[in-house]
Amino acid sequence: MAATLTPGTLKGVKPATATRPVEKRWERLAPYGYVAPFYVLFLVFGLFPLLFTFYVALFDWNPIGDKTFVGLANFQQLAADPRFWNALKNTFSIWIISTAPQLLIALVLAQVLNSALLRFATFFRMAMLLPYITSVAATAIVFAQLFNRDFGLLNWVIGGLGFEHVDFMSTPVGSHLLVSTMVVWRWFGYNTLLYLAALQAVPRDLYEAAAMDGAGPVKQFFHITLPSLRPVIVFTVIMSTIGGLQIFTEPLLLSNGTLTCGTARQCQTLSLFLYEQGFGSFKFGYGSAIGVALFAIIVVVALVNFLLSSRLGKKG
């Protein structure tokens, strides 16, 4: 332990790195200048679009024509729109069946990668990032081909085993599974590395002490690992919530680029529905109302997730 300096010990001694008294005005303002770019960018690209979306949602707004103030009519229409509830259901379904396995896989893999017994650990850690750095479009092409109804590898196997070919994109369950598989594939490595970094920061002596006290691996996991990982788990859960609820590219590309994602909108997510209305049907106001609803949903779900995941590993 380093000696703690108390104010008393400083008496009469001039600190070696004394700061000059701030005199000039610009010197006091300079720090604000240094951090300003972030806030300016946030205002222009973050806050302004957000507020503008709220504003547009109050109008019947043709982007290249007239706009009429309609108040909350867009939201009333949204509440009564079966397409909205369908998209909401799809979004949640895809989000849940992609996020849960993805974080569990990441948690297990991080343990494996952190093991002292693992050889070529650096290679495996690097490999984790490969799916993440591959472009979504490229991944989508590969997945679409793997799962293709007529010529896909998977259906070739299924057909070889004597079963009927499965058209994954034609049913809600199939398409949600397919989209989720792709999301899991893309993000598990990213989360694994986050968990791994957090695991490596856990002091070894905690485990040694626990082992001395007779705690087995399972007890160690629940009483040391999980509580140590809690901040990063909260972070990944929030990020996956935001990403998962905004999912757009994967369903779009897997369904051959149709904004409805299937003949019965079976995999149309909220983002796709927003895009369809705003840019396909030129209903900016209605599209913005969907955006506002999506924003509210994400805030609520993220909050709930934060509360749940921050209790993780705490003694309840």
Partner 1 sequence: MTTPALNPFLSRRRALALGGLAGGVALTASACSSGSSGSGDPNTFEFWSFTGINQKADVESYKKLAPDVTVKLTEVGNAQETAQGLTTALAGGKVPDLVLIQAGDLPKFMKNPGNFTDLATLGADQVEDDYVDWVMAQATAKSGEIVGIPTDVGGMGVAYRTDLFAAAGLPTNRDEVSALWPTWEEFIATGQRYTQASGSAFIDNAATTVFLQAVSQGTEQYYSADGEVVYDTNPVVKDSFDLGLKAIAAGITAKLESFSDGWNAGMAKGTFAAVAAPSWMLGSIRSAAPETEGKWDIATIPGGSGNWGGSYLAIPARAGNPKAAWAYISKMQSPEQQLQHFIESGSLPTTPVNYDKPELVDHTDPFFGDAPTGKIFTQAVLGLKPFLNGEYNTEISTELLNALNGVEGDGAPAAAAWDTAVKGIKTAIGA
Looking only at residues 103 through 132 of this chain, which bind partner 1 when binding is defined by CB under 8 A? none
Q: Choose among 211, 235, 210: nearest CA to 312.
A: 235
Are β-strands 67-69 and 59-61 bridged in parallel, bridged antiparallel, or unpaired?
Answer: antiparallel
Number of residues that bind partner 1 (CB under 8 A): 38
Q: How far is the CB of 81 from partner 1 (least distance, A)?
A: 6
Residue 164 interacting with partner 1 (CB under 8 A): no
Q: Choose among 109, 309, 105: nearest CA to 227.
A: 309
Find residue 69's DSSP bridge partners: 59
d(CA 305, CA 309): 6
Q: Which CB atom, from 101 or from 172, has the smaller least distance to partner 1?
A: 172
Q: Which CB atom, from 31 or from 65, has the smaller least distance to partner 1?
A: 65
Which of 79, 263, 307, 308 touches partner 1 (CB under 8 A)? 263
Q: How far is the CB of 254 from partner 1 (least distance, A)?
A: 9
| Other CB atoms within 10 A of residue 40 CB | 10
CA neighbours closer than 13 Å in the CB half-sphere of residue 211: 6
First to last CA, the chain: 34
Q: Which CB atom, from 118 or from 141, has the smaller least distance to partner 1?
A: 141
Contact 198, 232 (CB under 8 A): yes
Which of 260, 301, 305, 310 touches partner 1 (CB under 8 A)? 260
The string of DSSP letters for 35-72 reads HHHHHHHHIIIIIHHHHHHHHHTTEEE-TTS-EEE-TT
Which of 111, 171, 228, 310 touches partner 1 (CB under 8 A)? 171
Which of 73, 105, 121, 136 touches partner 1 (CB under 8 A)? 136
Residue 264 interacting with partner 1 (CB under 8 A): yes
Q: Which CB atom, from 58 or from 253, has the smaller least distance to partner 1?
A: 253
Query: Which bin fits 15, alpha (ψ -120 to 50), beta or left (φ > 0)?
Result: beta
Q: How far is the CB of 37 from partner 1 (least distance, A)?
A: 20
d(CA 150, CA 166): 9
Sorted by sequence, the CB contacts under 8 Å of residue 312 that are 6+ apart come out as 226, 230, 233, 234
Which of 7, 15, 257, 316 touches partner 1 (CB under 8 A)? 257
Which of 126, 141, 211, 300 touches partner 1 (CB under 8 A)? 141
Q: Choose among 187, 215, 198: nearest CA to 105.
A: 187
Residue 60 interacting with partner 1 (CB under 8 A): no
Q: How far is the CB of 238 from partner 1 (least distance, A)?
A: 22
- Contact pattern from residue 184 through residue 223 relative to partner 1, giving x for each residue in contact according to CB under 8 A and a dash for the rest: ----------------------------------------
Residues that bind partner 1 (CB under 8 A): 62-66, 81-83, 136-137, 140-141, 144-145, 148-151, 167, 170-171, 248-249, 252-253, 256-258, 260, 262-264, 266, 279-282, 284
